[in-house]
Structure 1
Amino acid sequence: RGIKTGDRVLVYNQFGEVEITAYVSSKLLPGTVSIGHGEWSKFDNVRKSKLMPYGIDTAGNCNLLIGDTHLPHIVGALLTAGLVEIRKVG
C-alpha cells in the first residue's frame, strides 16, 4: 500500500496504537506484520486518541496491541497476538 522501508507507520487495533519505523521484507508472508520486542513505552503526550488517552506509543511496544485474554498465557514471548491495521504516518 505504498509503505516502504524507513516510513513511519501507525500499527493499531482495538487494544492500542504504536508508531514504528517500517522495514519491508520479502521474508514475511504477504499481509503479515512482525514487530520486534520494541522498547519501554514512550507516550507522545501531544498526539492522543480515545484509545490511547496518555498518548500514542512511539517506541513500538507490541504489548500494547494484545488484549487481556492473552495475559495468562504469556511466558517470555507471545508469538501470535492477533490482527492489526497499518497506515503511513504523515
Structure 2
Amino acid sequence: MEEVQTQELWINPVDAKERKINNGDKVKVYNHRGTIEMPAKVSSRVMPGVVCLPQAGWFTPDDKGIDKRGANNVLTGHD
C-alpha cells in the first residue's frame, strides 16, 4: 500500500512555518494513548490549528513503541 500512497500528516502552511516543518520532515503526533511518527505534507487544504491524516498505515512500532507508519488507531480509543 505504501508504494501506491505514502502516508503523510497534512499540516497548514501557517502552522508548519510556526513549527519550522517542511514537506517530508518527520513529525511526531502523540497523546496519552500513544505516538506516531511520519512525514509531513504542508498543504493549504488543511485549516490552521488542525492536522489531517487522510490514510492510515499498518501498525509498525519501533523498539520504543512509536508507530512509524501512521496507524491512527494508536491515538484513538474504543471506550
Q: TM-score, normalised by structure 2?
A: 0.71
Residue number in structure 2 paired with 1:13: 31
- The one-letter code matched in structure 2 to 1:61 is A
Structure 1 vs Structure 2: percent identity of aligned residues? 44
Equivalent position SS for 2:33: coil
Instruction: Tell me how many residue pairs correspond in the alignment.
Output: 61
- The one-letter code matched in structure 2 to 1:59 is R
1:26 and 1:37 map into 2 onto residues whose CA distance is: 18
Structure 2: gaps spanning 5 or more residues: 1-18
Moved runs in structure 1, 4+ residues, more than 4 A? none
Normalized per residue, the structure richer in strand is: 2
2:58 is equivalent to residue 40 of structure 1: yes
Q: TM-score, normalised by structure 1?
A: 0.63
Q: How does 1:1-90 map to 2 (within 5 A)?
A: 1-45=19-63, 48=64, 55-69=65-79
- The one-letter code matched in structure 2 to 1:29 is M
Structure 1: gaps spanning 5 or more residues: 49-54, 70-90
